[in-house]
Amino acid sequence: MEINTNLSTTGVNEAATPSQRSTPAPTMLTDRISLNSSSALEQALDSSPASRPDMVERARSLIADPNYPSSDTLSAVARQMASGLMSDT
């Protein structure tokens, strides 16, 4: 077996193919971002409480209510779930 190592610069039908670009590549523009707003967001998150006491209290009262959620709400949710199951088949 013989391996031809002739790396020709000619193309199809012996037409010369350029080995280098004749025009320089366009200069790439760089994107820049500002991290000032990100820092402000981090500071706001750090200064906010881990939980909202008003929402915790509301959740506790809803959990304690034996009528929550109402039977109408439960029926509506059950219908939606059953409808979803029926459309999957």
- Token reading at 69: 């959620």
CA distances from 61 to 58, 64, 65, 71 (A): 5, 5, 6, 18
Number of residues in the chain: 89
* Residue-by-residue pLDDT tens, the chain, 89 positions: 667 666 665 655 555 555 555 666 666 666 766 677 788 888 888 898 889 999 999 999 999 999 999 999 999 999 999 998 887 66
pTM for the full predicted model: 0.37
